[in-house]
Structure 1
Amino acid sequence: MNKVWVSIWRENRLGTKAMAEKLIKDMGLSKAMANVFAARNITTAKEALSLTEFELMQLLDVGMAEVSSALSRISEIACPPYQTALNLMEQRVHKEDHGGHLPTGLKGLDEALCGGIPFGVLTELVGPPGIGKTQLCMKLSLLASLPTTYGGLNGHVIYIDVESKFSSKRMIEIGVQSFPDIFNMKGVVQEMAGRILVLRPTTLSKFTESLQQIKLSLLQRPVKLIVIDSIAAIMSGDFAQGASRQNLLGWHVSFINNMALSQRTDDLSGYDSHLVAALGINWAHSVTIRLVLEAKSGQRFIKLAKSPLSPPFAFPFIITSAGISLLNDYGTELKGMEINRIHQHGHSDIINFDGKGCSDKRRNPT
């Protein structure tokens, strides 16, 4: 998953750079005009297009008509051709259809996402402690590692467990309850466990070391999913608020494309207790898919708050021994402030996972 996104990002970046570095002498200008540009040491499209027409007129000592004609030609050759909104939409649909998805196992959510979480994007899970974020991450990890005949991706998973919330026992329970046919087969549990690499960095420097391990793993294994649970814990533990933290975070976001699990900090300014982003605007804009898990009036909801593929929807859910399950598959379309507001009051945890199903004992499943 990470590898696909990096290769696309590099291809786009290098393509733009190549256009900017095209030589003016090769753009079909008259020999006299090309010589004028060369004499002023303006040799590439980027250098010419970085100046205004008036600046070029003074620098080249030629008339406005000649400058305008030359810039039009340079722009035509150096810049990519225009595309209509319909063309862009068709390209996106083709990319989604052929790029692949990781199904979440939640039918309504998968339908809203046109098949599941698309490959090659940064996806964020947001919500208060104990709402079920880690439960969903473990279920996604199982789905990524399951054989394709059972709806999985038949790949490996890298799980960066910052807050030591990952439980192999709980993951096996989710697998047994969700996929009894396969998990009751001899040797399957060991095989699935061998496909999930768990790293536990405690500082940002250790996290950076983990990223280096990821680079090696991507070469050695068919990694389909990377989970960070949670990146906010690393940043808040090592750095105060400010631009320096944002710059460091930006570097790590650019390094990988992953499933990122983000904690939130309390903000009680509204009537309903809700949460605000802990990692700032740079992080928010890096996210392609945002899933918000919240509790309101005693009911848990998972909201598709940000997606280029679907309008915002909210689905009620419960947590059972098999993990997160939706109460219905049609959901409710959201509008206005409810899209980004994260409710946390009326949240009751009455689930105990002991391998024998659920009981009334209180526990915080995260």
Structure 2
Amino acid sequence: MANRFISEMGLPKSIANVFAARNVKTAKDALSLTEFELMELLDVGLAEVTSAVAYISEMVCPPFETALSLLEQRVQNEHLAGHLPTRLKGLDKALCGGIPFGVVTELVGPAGIGKTQFCLKLALLASLPTSYGGLDGQVIYIDVESKFSSRRMIEIGSKSFPEVFYREGMAKEMAGRILVLQPSSLPEFTDSLQQIKVLLLQNKLKLLIIDSMAALVSGEFEQTNNPRQHPLAWHISFIKSLAELSRIPIIVTNQVRSQTHGDSLFSFQHTIWVNERLDSGL
């Protein structure tokens, strides 16, 4: 909400135009300054600044909820809970059915262990018709390190789901449901997340895969161990909220940073540590 544009909030045009002219575009830009700093920057009076700040704060502040409404939401979410089976028997058993809906699952392991191959199979599974155990929906695959291989995806599909993949037009239809984004920078990654909201509102998106998230800021986090100062802190929070509100499974891959499993970059709800090759069963 802090990144919501002031121009979309319905402020009077006179003050909204002043914000725009001074390059104060988002709620975060405005609320990170004191009222006196805004007066000096915008060249307007205290009354106008106070009124604008109060309005912006009201627009971006989450509404109050009662304990009863939170309980009802939790019961409803549990009712909507489900899993996307991976079709790897041992893993599905350990995960109580597969990749859970409504949470972010972090897949962590060293380079070359098969994380990307596993994500390709999950993308295909989500695009499968429901009659074949799939989710019959669209998949967004955010390919940060340009590892996505359509050829490998077809190989996995023909080997894992031959009864579906060789049906006329089915391979093309499934591949058409997998949307690939390849952001090359953190701002592009931010834009990619904003694009996802449209598909979520249309109830077409069934799986989101981010492979791999930490690659966007490689080396920057080494200078600080404070998660709040991590350059991806906002993105992590945003992705968690996407999972909770949409009730879709979200997969984020990351490489091991040290020998200690506790040395994880992010605090996601669900983390799978991979020590053996995943693609042997694909």
Distance across 1 between alignment mates of 2:68 and 2:164? 50
Structure 1 residues 187, 128: closer, same or farther in 2, change over 3 A? same
Number of the residue aligned with 2:235: 252
Number of the residue aligned with 1:263: 255
Distance across 1 between alignment mates of 2:264 and 2:269? 17
Number of the residue aligned with 2:270: 289
Cα distance, 1:108 vs structure 2: 2.6
* Cα RMSD after superposing both structures: 3.1
Number of the residue aligned with 1:319: 280
Task: Tell me which protein shows more strand as a share of its residues.
Answer: 1
Number of the residue aligned with 2:110: 128
Secondary structure of residue in 2 paired with 1:294: coil
Distance across 1 between alignment mates of 2:173 and 2:193? 24
Distance across 1 between alignment mates of 2:77 and 2:137? 21
Number of the residue aligned with 1:199: 181
Number of the residue aligned with 1:158: 140
Moved more, 150-159 or 243-252: 243-252
Number of the residue aligned with 1:360: none
Cα distance, 1:244 vs structure 2: 7.9
Cα distance, 1:277 vs structure 2: 3.4
Number of the residue aligned with 1:347: none
Q: How many residues end up aligned between the 2 structures?
A: 212
Given that residues 221 and 230 in structure 2 are in contact (C-alpha distance below 8 angstroms), is that contact kept between their aligned partners in structure 1?
no
Given that residues 208 and 251 in structure 2 are in contact (C-alpha distance below 8 angstroms), is that contact kept between their aligned partners in structure 1?
yes
Secondary structure of residue in 2 paired with 1:163: coil
Return the letter of the residue paired with 2:280. I
Distance across 2 between alignment mates of 1:117 and 1:96? 15
Cα distance, 1:186 vs structure 2: 1.4
Deviations 1:297-351 (A, max 9, x none): xxx4xxxxxxxxxxxxxxxx6615xx1xxxxxxxxxxxxxxxxxxxxxxxxxxxx
Distance across 2 between alignment mates of 1:195 and 1:246? 36
Distance across 2 between alignment mates of 1:261 and 1:211? 16
Moved more, 255-264 or 135-144: 255-264
Cα distance, 1:14 vs structure 2: 6.0
Which consecutive unaligned segments of at least 5 residues does structure 1 have?
A: 1-12, 20-78, 84-90, 268-273, 301-316, 324-366
Deviations 1:47-73 (A, max 9, x none): xxxxxxxxxxxxxxxxxxxxxxxxxxx
Which consecutive unaligned segments of at least 5 residues does structure 2 have?
A: 1-60, 244-249
Distance across 1 between alignment mates of 2:269 and 2:137? 22
Number of the residue aligned with 2:25: none
Secondary structure of residue in 1 paired with 2:274: strand
Deviations 1:185-234 (A, max 9, x none): 11111111110000001111110111111122323461111111001101
Number of the residue aligned with 1:225: 207
Return the letter of the residue paired with 1:260. V
Structure 1 residues 244, 261: closer, same or farther in 2, change over 3 A? closer
1:277 aligns with 2:263: yes
Larger-gyration structure (1/2): 1
Superposition TM-score, scaled by structure 1 size: 0.52
Return the letter of the residue paired with 1:264. V
Given that residues 84 and 97 in structure 2 are in contact (C-alpha distance below 8 angstroms), is that contact kept between their aligned partners in structure 1?
yes
**Identical columns (%):** 55
Given that residues 117 and 279 in structure 2 are in contact (C-alpha distance below 8 angstroms), is that contact kept between their aligned partners in structure 1?
no
Return the letter of the residue paired with 1:289. H
Given that residues 229 and 260 in structure 1 are in contact (C-alpha distance below 8 angstroms), is that contact kept between their aligned partners in structure 2?
yes
| 1:1-366 aligned within 5 A | 17-19=64-66, 95-96=77-78, 98-220=80-202, 222-236=204-218, 241-242=223-224, 243=226, 246-256=229-239, 257=243, 258-267=250-259, 277=263, 279=265, 283-284=266-267, 287-295=268-276, 300=277, 319=280, 323=282
Return the letter of the residue paired with 2:177. R
Secondary structure of residue in 2 paired with 1:197: strand
Structure 1 residues 155, 237: closer, same or farther in 2, change over 3 A? farther
Distance across 1 between alignment mates of 2:134 and 2:212? 24
Given that residues 121 and 288 in structure 1 are in contact (C-alpha distance below 8 angstroms), is that contact kept between their aligned partners in structure 2?
yes
Distance across 1 between alignment mates of 2:227 and 2:262? 20
Distance across 1 between alignment mates of 2:221 and 2:235? 14
Cα distance, 1:266 vs structure 2: 3.9
